[in-house]
Amino acid sequence: MPVRQLSETTVNRIAAGEVVERPASVVKELVENALDAGATRIEIATDGGGRRLIRVADDGTGMTRADLDLAVERHATSKLDGDDLLQIDTLGFRGEALPSIGSVARLTIATRHAGEPNGENSHGWAITVDGGAKSDIKPAALSEGTRVEVKDLFYATPARLKFLKSDRSEAEAVREVVRRLAMSRPDVAFTLASDERQPVTWPAALPGAAGRLARLADILGAEFRLNAVEVSASRDGTVVEGYAGLPTHSRANSLGQYLFVNGRPVRDKLLIGVIRGAYADYLPRDRHPVVALFVTLPPREVDVNVHPAKTEVRFRDNALVRALLMHALKEGLARDAQRAATNGGTATIAAFRPAALPRRGNFDWRRSPSRPLAPRGAVAAWTAPGTGFGEAAQAVFDVGGAAATARVELAEPAPDLLDRPLGAARAQVHDTYIVAQTRDGLVIVDQHAAHERLVYERMKSALGKSGVARQILLIPEIVELDAADVERLLSRVDELSRFGLALEPFGPGAVAVRETPSMLGEIDAAALTRDLAEHLAEWDEALPLERRLMHVSATMACYGSVRAGRRLKPEEMNALLREMEATPNSGQCNHGRPTYVELKLTDIERLFGRR
């Protein structure tokens, strides 16, 4: 078959396959055009998930008649000054969006330039492109800006319609695109209307960090505002700003990570990898943080001409961007990581609240056969169970039994302790949870999770100084393992010895544990060794040494921490609270779970109907 030149219509439809993948792609291109035109208000409306109708109206500068005539031609753009593809200051620059959309749909553009005179005979201009066929330009009634309508998307390429999902799924994709663009420009008001949902409006916010957080809260919810940490860093003209969610405010997927480079929403593997590394010390591998990060740098330092959809970028200096983002995240998390997620208290209140009132006659708590009603004013007798508080010093923390008339006199806590962030310890419940009283509420601490983080931070600090001190076992612990596990452990002997764990081979299927970290005290060395062998089997050889060492630290800290079920004396509980207050990252354990939950008096009063 001889070589021939493709027709203009075919070329446009091929280009449309790269730029216009689904209705959300159309919305992205049109909204970006509106932002480039200096719009302060953008309205988006869709029908049928964008399949039947997409309408984008803005109050930007608009176009003149001559500009409109040229705008629907291929590779025509007002956003490039010359042929310099390294100095791109706008979201769009290819000049492909409008002709590509017009080649596969019915496109109508009505616009009025800001310089058009006002008067009785003044008007805008309109043009239609139907399946690639351009109409003549006609006068149009329009007050300001530009209005673009796209009808019957992909009617000219029916095969593409088969790849579209349901109207609801396509509408949700449109919503996600608008959400991301609205995050990038809090100074612009956005309105999104569709036949699938009620219209939503995000009003323009004030400039600065406060306005950005307000817009993020409008889109991501009030919980993000309450659980977000501000991050900021700059170097050599590159600036990283934004907000990162607390580790205890995480998700099961990475869809809550919003990244922007020079105002452009992107999904960059480099940035996602940095986020994962920054949170590696706080979250397990199956949990992902919620972040909204904005990277601003000179246009010549980033290549946005990598992908037709412009969702990928390439940095000239990857190391600078990586280091700056890592520093900003770690500094922000270390500054506020003593906080626990605020939704913990909300979830606790919700768990306490009964789902339904008991029906009459089901149960009479006043006549429980197992606990007869005591006379009015009497103190019910109660015998502590075998698993209760063993130490006499903890008698003042005895909260009594479940009888409705039980009375317990508690010692008054020191006033200065009530003013501390985690308050004064008042009781230990189920030998697992410490209940502390603050000036305006109470705090419930998971003693194992809290102490696990404290031991982990001590171990990291010791590693950075002189190494972890060891204690020699009087009788070495012999641990039998598979030959493959033994091989993995022995290949990491030097790394493990830095943590005070000394291993030696003991025959073909066992290792001998001769020394353990002294800070862990008495531990189950055999169980720790088996766990480490299992973790080693999952490690990627490319995993940085620091990450591997921190993983070992976390595993050891788990075994060396105060276990659930251990009885603590009052002074031990208060010492644990004070150390938590002085230790960074103590708001969550090594697995990303909260170490404590705070309940304000207002929440408790609301639970009992006092508010």
Burial status of residue 491 (CB atoms within 10 A of its CB: 0-12, 13-18, 19 or more)? exposed
d(CA 589, CA 104): 54
Smallest Cα–Cα separation from 598: which of 446, 399, 432? 446
Cα diameter, the chain: 106
Read off the amino acid at residue 588. Answer: Q
**Tokens representing residue 275 in the block:** 């986020």
Please give the backbone phi and psi of residue 147, each rounded to the nearest 5 degrees, phi first: -125, 125
d(CA 210, CA 203): 14
Select the more confidently predicted residue: 348 or 247.
247
CATH 3.30.230.10 is held by the domain 209-336: yes
Greatest mean pLDDT range, 130-144, 385-399, 448-462: 130-144
Smallest Cα–Cα separation from 115: which of 52, 157, 63? 63
d(CA 184, CA 259): 9
Helices 525-538, 545-560: crossing angle, 10 deg rounding:
150
Select the more confidently predicted residue: 414 or 147.
147
d(CA 524, CA 272): 37
DSSP annotation string for 117-146: PPSTT--EEEEEEETTEE---EEE--SSEE
Question: Would you place residue 108 in the very low, low, confident or very high pLDDT band (cuts 50, 70, 90)?
Answer: very high
Contact 439, 429 (CB under 8 A): no
d(CA 38, CA 58): 9
Q: What is residue 261's predicted lDDT score, i.e. its pLDDT?
A: 92
d(CA 541, CA 528): 21
Question: Would you place residue 404 in the very low, low, confident or very high pLDDT band (cuts 50, 70, 90)?
Answer: very low
Question: Would you place residue 599 in the very low, low, confident or very high pLDDT band (cuts 50, 70, 90)?
Answer: confident
Q: What is the mean pLDDT of residues 335-339?
A: 68
Q: What is residue 170's predicted lDDT score, i.e. its pLDDT?
A: 93
Contact 37, 61 (CB under 8 A): yes
Strands 257-261 and 291-296: parallel
d(CA 533, CA 487): 9
Domain residue ranges of the chain, discontinuous segments joined by +? 8-202, 209-336, 417-611
What are the distances in angstroms from CA 111 to CA 79, 127, 149? 17, 9, 12
Residue 382 confidence (pLDDT) above 70:
no
Any idea which architecture 8-202 has in CATH? 2-Layer Sandwich (3.30)
Q: What is the mean pLDDT of residues 245-263?
A: 88
Residue 590 confidence (pLDDT) above 60:
yes
Burial status of residue 27 (CB atoms within 10 A of its CB: 0-12, 13-18, 19 or more)? buried
d(CA 583, CA 453): 9
Select the more confidently predicted residue: 81 or 96.
96
Residue 59 confidence (pLDDT) above 80:
yes
Report the share of the chain in percent with pLDDT over 70.
75
Greatest mean pLDDT range, 116-120, 213-217, 514-518, 602-606: 213-217
Question: Would you place residue 12 in the very low, low, confident or very high pLDDT band (cuts 50, 70, 90)?
Answer: low
600 in the Ramachandran plot: left (φ > 0), alpha (ψ -120 to 50) or beta? beta
Lowest mean pLDDT among 102-106, 342-346, 586-590: 342-346
d(CA 220, CA 179): 9
How far is C-alpha 354 from the chain's CA centre?
31
Strands 53-58 and 41-47: antiparallel
Question: Would you place residue 588 in the very low, low, confident or very high pLDDT band (cuts 50, 70, 90)?
Answer: confident
Residue 544 confidence (pLDDT) above 60:
no
Q: What is residue 185's predicted lDDT score, i.e. its pLDDT?
A: 94
Domains 209-336 and 417-611 in one fold: no
Q: What is residue 600's predicted lDDT score, i.e. its pLDDT?
A: 86
Q: What is residue 94's predicted lDDT score, i.e. its pLDDT?
A: 64
Residue 530 confidence (pLDDT) above 50:
yes
d(CA 479, CA 426): 42
Q: What is residue 567's predicted lDDT score, i.e. its pLDDT?
A: 81
Q: What is residue 409's predicted lDDT score, i.e. its pLDDT?
A: 39
Smallest Cα–Cα separation from 297: which of 239, 231, 241? 239
Q: How many Cβ atoms from other residues are within 10 Å of residue 294's Cβ?
A: 20
Write out the H or E segment, with its range, that includes residue 349. helix 343-352
Question: Would you place residue 34 in the very low, low, confident or very high pLDDT band (cuts 50, 70, 90)?
Answer: very high
d(CA 272, CA 399): 48
Strands 41-47 and 189-194: parallel
Query: Structure pTM?
Result: 0.67
Q: What is residue 430's predicted lDDT score, i.e. its pLDDT?
A: 84
Residue 419 confidence (pLDDT) above 80:
yes
Contact 181, 89 (CB under 8 A): no
520: helix, strand or coil: helix
Select the more confidently predicted residue: 395 or 444.
444
CATH 3.40.1410.10 is held by the domain 417-611: no
The residues pairing with 194 across neighbouring beta strands, listed in sequence order, are 46
The 3-state secondary structure of 44-60, one letter per residue:
EEEEHHHCCEEEEEECC
Residue 574 confidence (pLDDT) above 80:
yes
Q: What is residue 402's predicted lDDT score, i.e. its pLDDT?
A: 41
Residue 384 confidence (pLDDT) above 50:
no
Q: What is residue 378's predicted lDDT score, i.e. its pLDDT?
A: 41
Residue 207 confidence (pLDDT) above 70:
yes
**Tokens representing residue 80 in the block:** 């490039």
Q: What is the mean pLDDT of residues 478-503?
A: 84
d(CA 422, CA 425): 9
Q: What is the mean pLDDT of residues 318-333?
A: 91
Q: What is the CA radius of gyration of the chain?
A: 32
Residue 42 confidence (pLDDT) above 90:
yes
Lowest mean pLDDT among 3-12, 403-412, 479-488, 548-557: 403-412
Contact 496, 514 (CB under 8 A): no
Q: What is the mean pLDDT of residues 145-161?
A: 90
Please provide the average confidence, as pLDDT, over all residues in the chain.
79
The 3-state secondary structure of 173-230, one letter per residue:
HHHHHHHHHHHHCCCCEEEEEECCCCCEEECCCCCCHHHHHHHHHHHHCHHHHHCEEE
d(CA 527, CA 513): 11
